[in-house]
Amino acid sequence: MAKKITKRVTKKHVSKPNAKLKAGELERRKATKAILGDTDDFLIVTGLAGAKDDVLNATGANPNNVFPLSGAMGAACSIGLGLALAQPDKTVLVVTGEGELLMNVGTLAAIGAMEVPNLRILCIDNQRYGETGWQPSHTLRGVDLAKMAEGANIKSVRTVTKQSQFKEARDLLRNANSTAFILLKVAATDPGKLAMPAERDASVWKTRFRDALGVA
């Protein structure tokens, strides 16, 4: 029975990345880099591999002000919230994927209720669970995380679907007077591996990030 179930689920639900961009679609790494711009003034928490690689493509392979999560799927916004509360004089940026956010979407309610002015969230939505086999995520079936953020009392919310919206999104990350949430809709393509492999030891990332916080 177990073998039959595994075979049925794999065949029906696991897909592959699109081979190439379709007209009008945004490539995730280029779009993320354009929206992030200069990241030196942020403390950045990233989700799992996809979001982490998107950020490191923009910042360089081993920045001090980035804390990537490994094995903590769903926790990026929660950690970002705690960090923003603990560091009120610094701008905290969470870069995550829609699949990860959907695992802990209730965090949006906590963030909206607390109205943390120095917290920014960039959610990269390719409508796929890239970590677990490229299954369609709920956003492919009509779930709108931007509307959910608005419903959670997050005041500054934008959905980015085209290049002409990059500047507004980039400015919002820097100048919003309240929590900002940006939903970046990108193509379901595989951007491939980073040209420069990043550090894999979590303790190294922790030490670097503590340096950025000024914590011994």
Angle in degrees, CA 134, 157, 116, rounded to 5 = 105
Q: How far is CA 54 from CA 27, 69, 89, 192, in A?
A: 10, 13, 26, 11
Q: Where are the beta strands (DSSP E) in 57-145?
A: 66-68, 91-97, 119-125, 128-129, 135-136
Could you give phi then psi for residue 27, rounded to 5 degrees? -85, 130
> pLDDT tens digits, residue range 118-168?
999 999 999 998 878 889 999 999 999 999 999 999 999 999 999 999 999
* % residues pLDDT > 90 (the chain): 66
Q: Which residues contact 68 (CB under 8 A, 6 or more apart)?
A: 45, 46, 52, 55, 56, 198, 205
Partners of residue 156 on adjacent β-strands: 180
pTM beyond 0.85? yes
CATH of domain 24-213: 3.40.50.970
> pLDDT tens digits, residue range 58-101?
998 788 999 998 778 889 999 999 999 999 999 999 999 999 99
State how far the Cα of 61 lies from the Cα of 212, in Å rounded to an integer.
16
Q: What is the mean pLDDT of the chain?
A: 89
